[in-house]
A and B are shown apart, each in its own frame.
Chain A
């Protein structure tokens, strides 16, 4: 019986060792799971089926040329990896379709990030400032600001980000209030963001709302899709990669954007985490059994 006992003791000690593994090994494996696919330029296909990303793409695609979309940059640098690629991909789609963009921000730092995306994409596609796009800038107030814009955009933003009076901006000539926009897009990292736009602009003034958000907040916005309060939603890096894929369909030699190359690292990191969860649970249960406890019901 000695060998059996040894074997059992060996198995027990393995799970015990796994249960007590130094978490820095886990950090190291996670770092490898993220850095290696990026460094090796691994690429996985990103199939985009029916869903919130496709719905948003289709909605924007159905807007006629000359439409005007309000884009609110409600994020900051801490969520840039997820939201900036969405902003860029959305702008590429809008400008390619000949749709004008009015930018603004409920978050102060979002305005600068939005400006960077607006000027980069506009330059690459030949869109002209004040004719095809304008950035109104940041204003404090969140939901209260949106309500004010519902009656008068000019009262809420007398001048754009660079101090040019709104009355002198050709793009803003036909825009008096929120209802004059064909769509509102919010790139949202928290509050104020999508909930404020849905509540104060969508439900109150009847303007269609779409947008993108961090993956953390995506589940809380899914009910807005089911009830029709949002026309589409990009959730996290996957949403950004979906949109990049959709925008680049049929475009030869298109640059991949920054979200698409990150998806291979994302997938491998998720597999590693799933492995950790399985191993952790087995080690936990084996540890309980070894200590004479049962499996928790």
Chain B
């Protein structure tokens, strides 16, 4: 038995163990679930140490693996220790220093970019001419729905006046547009979940079953 076949069998048996939950909770499911949680935690600890901590910090601090020694690396090391201070209640407050650094850098870096990308550029994309040369009736309707949808959607979230009369009618159009958006989002979510099931079904049918002589001609 090769390592590849062993891997396929492990994957298939664990997949079946996990899907057995659909019938009812059982020890096979519990075993696979706990194995997954334990393996994930172990994998991430080792991955982070060897692929993040050692090449980005340890090697640079001590000048290993072709890097020149950089004593400035003591600073991120200090902040990392501060983060770990949460484990010890007496010094847990020091972790705020590291969190403040992360929040400050993150906010400073993202605030303007986020506003530009997700607000200003979107507003610009909404301001469209209703009639463009060559756009035709379809283009006109598309632009109209976009503008009406955005305006009515915003009116729905305007709470300073009661939603009555024209304001109420516009808010109703707004909530209808929102429902269409939620429906599209739900449809895409269903498609994603089914896609994952299809992926595992393809694995079981065309990778696992051929190892026991079934669907051999269809192996992926």
Contact = CB atoms under 8 A, between A and B. Distances in A.
B124 A227 contact: yes
Interface stretch (A9-17, A113-121, A198-206): A198-206
B42 to A, nearest CB: 14
Contacts of A237: 191, 195, 198
Contact of A81 (B52, B190, B196): B196
A18 interface: no
Given A27-B22, A38-B201, A38-B202, A215 B189 contact: yes
Given A147-B109, A229-B117, A215 B202 contact: no
Interface residues of B, number: 40
Interface string A56-100: 000000000000000000000011111000000000000000000
Contact of A218 (B118, B188, B196): B188
Interface string A1-35: 00000000000000000000000100100100011
B80 interface: no
A273 B190 contact: yes
Nearest to B191: A215
A214 B192 contact: yes
Interface stretch (A122-130, A176-184, A263-271): A263-271
B110 A143 contact: yes
Contacts of A200: 113
B105 A81 contact: no
B131 interface: no
| Best-surrounded residue of B22, B181, B184 (most CB of chain A within 10 A) | B22
Given A81-B196, A236-B195, A140 B201 contact: no
Nearest to A226: B125
A41 interface: yes
B195 A82 contact: yes
A294 interface: no
Nearest to A273: B190
What DSSP secondary structure best describes chain B's contact surface?
A: helix
Nearest to B21: A27
Given A258-B202, A269-B194, A39 B215 contact: yes
Given A108-B47, A199-B113, A199-B114, A81 B198 contact: yes
> Which of B56, B124, B191 has most A Cβ within 10 Å?
B191
Given A216-B192, A236-B195, A199 B125 contact: no
Contact of A236 (B181, B184, B192, B220): B192
Given A34-B198, A41-B218, A24 B109 contact: no
A262 interface: yes
B16 to A, nearest CB: 12
Contacts of A223: 122, 125
B113 A265 contact: no
B205 interface: yes
A140 B197 CA distance: 30
A138 to B, nearest CB: 6
B185 interface: yes
Nearest to A137: B51
B77 interface: no
Contact of B194 (A227, A228, A266): A266
A266 B189 contact: no
Interface in A194-233: 195, 198-200, 202-204, 214-216, 218-219, 223, 226-229
A266 B196 CA distance: 10
A230 to B, nearest CB: 11
A102 to B, nearest CB: 19
Please name the 10 residue pairs, one residue from A and one from B, whose CB atoms are nearest each other, closest first: A81-B199, A227-B125, A215-B192, A237-B195, A215-B191, A216-B192, A262-B198, A199-B117, A215-B188, A27-B22
24 contacts: A24-B23, A27-B22, A34-B197, A41-B218, A80-B199, A81-B195, A81-B198, A82-B192, A82-B196, A198-B117, A199-B110, A199-B114, A214-B195, A216-B188, A216-B189, A219-B185, A219-B188, A229-B125, A236-B195, A258-B202, A262-B198, A266-B194, A266-B198, A269-B194
Interface of B: 22-23, 47, 51-52, 56, 105, 109-110, 113-114, 116-118, 121-122, 124-125, 146, 181, 184-185, 188-192, 194-202, 205, 215, 218, 220
Given A38-B198, A203-B121, A223-B122, 19 more contacts: A27-B22, A34-B198, A38-B205, A81-B196, A81-B202, A82-B192, A82-B196, A144-B105, A199-B113, A199-B116, A199-B117, A216-B189, A219-B185, A219-B188, A228-B125, A238-B191, A262-B195, A265-B198, A270-B191
Interface of A: 24, 27, 30, 34-35, 38-39, 41, 78-82, 108, 138-140, 143-144, 147, 195, 198-200, 202-204, 214-216, 218-219, 223, 226-229, 235-238, 258, 261-262, 265-266, 269-270, 273
